[in-house]
Amino acid sequence: MNSKVKATAILKDNLQNFFFVLPAFAIFCIFYIYPFYKMINLSFYDWRGIGPMHFIGLANYKELMSDHLWWNSIWHAGYITLIALTFQNVLAFALALACDREIRLKRFYRAVFFIPPVLSEVVVGLIWNWILNPQMQNGQYIGLLNHFLYTSGFPQLVHNWLGDPKTALTTIAIVHSWKGFGWGFIIFLAGLQTIDKQLYEAAKVDGASAWKTLTNFTIPMMLPVILVVVILTILGSMQVFVLIIAMVNEGLVNHTDVPVTRIFSAMQNVNRFGYACAEAVIFGMILVCVSFIMKKLSDKAKQA
């Protein structure tokens, strides 16, 4: 009898737990699992978004493997990511280090550095479009950058930054880094503030220079935080999209294509939903692989 009561209580307990989890599970299935399944499923079809769907097996993937525009777009995203990893994160780390010290107006700087990430990507794109405008009116450059270069004695540097294939992608990458460095700054600053200040004082007493303190002490202590920022930067930069649309519309020929603009174009311009899904699956797999590698590196760093 006792065991029957006990079993009933366990069942009741399990059911209760199950019901607690059910809403979250249902939401997860409806908004994550089903769309994910549907995307993989659609990648095996030739479908124009409406009307009949034709099963074509792996044909979309086969075509994708030889689509040089697609692989170029991956390289472009990689290039933007590389600039973000270096320029953006070094800047963020340097500024976080500066604001971690006892300097005047440090609260003000913290607020200022966090303004770009708060702005919408469309707004950032519009602002930079104006700054980079290559046109002239009444003998003066309309864009702030070219106007500044011209009036400060560097007319040879005046350039059509977004209209030249040699500079367009780098310009976008720099603007993307400008927009994103605030996140890294905040995370780095939070990480730096967890380091006991007494350790710095001890290093100082031992005669360690500022550089040695940074390389032998601060950076090793910050390694897990740095890896988090690196992963977030890679995921954010590989998926850059809105900024590109806001700055160069449908792109400078194919020089500013990134995977997400290719996926969008496959759906919007050529109505190939199946192909777009195949692109999304491959791109998702690349991101998962990168994240997995970074996670492994992060684990190793933590152990060290």
Q: Which of 2, 138, 194, 303 binds other proteins (CB under 8 A)?
A: 138
Residue among 100 and 121 whose Cβ is closer to other proteins: 121
Minimum distance of other proteins from residue 165's CB (angstroms): 6
Residue at token pair 């090793």 = 220
- Asked if 136 and 142 count as a contact pair (C-beta separation under 8 A), the reply is yes
Minimum distance of other proteins from residue 160's CB (angstroms): 5
* Segment interacting with other proteins, rule: CB under 8 A, options 20-28, 174-182, 206-214, 280-288: 20-28
Of 22-61, binders to other proteins (CB under 8 A) are 22-23, 26, 30, 48-51
Q: Does the footprint of other proteins cover residue 72 (CB under 8 A)?
A: no
Binding track, positions 105-134, relative to other proteins; x by CB under 8 A: ------------------------x---xx
Cβ neighbourhood burial of 105 (10 Å; 0-12, 13-18, 19+): exposed
**Number of shown-chain residues binding other proteins (CB under 8 A):** 42
Residue among 30 and 58 whose Cβ is closer to other proteins: 30
Q: Which of 2, 3, 137, 156 binds other proteins (CB under 8 A)?
A: 137
HSE-CB at 247 with a 13 A cutoff on CA atoms is: 30
Q: Does the footprint of other proteins cover residue 14 (CB under 8 A)?
A: no
Q: Does the footprint of other proteins cover residue 84 (CB under 8 A)?
A: no
Minimum distance of other proteins from residue 272's CB (angstroms): 8
Q: Which residues contact 224 (CB under 8 A, 6 or more apart)?
A: 298, 301, 302
Binding track, positions 142-181, relative to other proteins; x by CB under 8 A: x-----------------x-xxxx--x-------------
Residue among 89 and 256 whose Cβ is closer to other proteins: 256
Which of 133, 191, 205 lies closest to 162, judged by CA? 133
* Segment interacting with other proteins, rule: CB under 8 A, options 19-27, 176-184, 211-219, 223-231: 19-27
Residue among 23 and 207 whose Cβ is closer to other proteins: 23
Residue among 11 and 105 whose Cβ is closer to other proteins: 11
Q: Which residues contact 217 (CB under 8 A, 6 or more apart)?
A: 199, 200, 203, 208
Minimum distance of other proteins from residue 33's CB (angstroms): 15
Minimum distance of other proteins from residue 19's CB (angstroms): 5
Q: Does the footprint of other proteins cover residue 202 (CB under 8 A)?
A: no
Minimum distance of other proteins from residue 51's CB (angstroms): 4
Could you list the residues that contact other proteins (CB under 8 A)?
12, 15-16, 19-20, 22-23, 26, 30, 48-51, 129, 133-139, 142, 160, 162-165, 168, 247-254, 265, 267-271
